[in-house]
Amino acid sequence: MPTVKPCLWFDRNVDEALEHWGAIFGDDLVVESKVPGPEGPTLVADFVVFGQAVMGLSAGPQFPPSESFSFFLSVDGQAEVDRYWDALIADGGNESDCGWCKDKFGFSWQVVPKQFFELLSSGTPEQSSRVMAAMNTMHKFDVAALQAAYDG
């Protein structure tokens, strides 16, 4: 049976990314296989992060990552938001708006607390509108500020 998984194009540094992401995600990142390139470093790596199969291809600078592809990381509470956000932007990553950030390899991540969607789906249209307005002012999600917006 056919399978589908995203393939990430790296500028010859898939091993470095796997090491960095492994430090962030621990046992939730599993490297399944590596295929060496003709010059030694890994050319192709198959890995699984939080149950999602991914392929990494170290093929050069021709196609840098863009926001057109992002990892959506659903987390629980402010402590997890802070932990993953801070780790992803460390060592050369950067913040963006509305819960988006880029890691040092240029890949985009959306670090979103499940409480955001709970607040959006549980309230009145006015409460949902206030939550969305609050989110639109944020870089990293602030769960307490979302709750305050919901509460009015």
Question: Residue 134 belongs to a domain with what CATH number?
Answer: 3.10.180.10
Q: Are residues 55 and 127 in the same domain?
A: no
The domain of 39 spans 1-61
Number of domains in the chain: 2
Q: Are residues 28 and 13 in the same domain?
A: yes
Q: Which of 61, 82, 109 is the last residue of a domain?
A: 61
The pLDDT-based confidence of 67 (bands split at 50, 70, 90) is very high
Whole-number pLDDT of residue 55: 97
Whole-number pLDDT of residue 58: 94
Q: Are residues 88 and 152 in the same domain?
A: yes
SS3 (DSSP) at 55: strand
Whole-number pLDDT of residue 86: 98
Q: Are residues 32 and 48 in the same domain?
A: yes
- CA separation for the pair 108, 90 (Å, rounded): 13
Q: State the average pLDDT for the chain.
A: 96
Whole-number pLDDT of residue 141: 98
Q: Are residues 47 and 21 in the same domain?
A: yes
Whole-number pLDDT of residue 38: 85
The pLDDT-based confidence of 41 (bands split at 50, 70, 90) is confident
What are the contacts of 19-26 at 24+ separation with CB within 8 A?
A: 20/91, 20/103, 20/104, 20/105, 21/49, 21/103, 23/87, 24/84, 24/87, 24/88, 25/49, 25/50
Q: Are residues 3 and 24 in the same domain?
A: yes
Whole-number pLDDT of residue 40: 79
Q: What is the pLDDT of residues 95-135, one digit of tens each?
A: 999 999 999 999 999 999 999 999 999 999 999 999 999 99
- CA separation for the pair 149, 50 (Å, rounded): 31
Q: Are residues 86 and 73 in the same domain?
A: yes
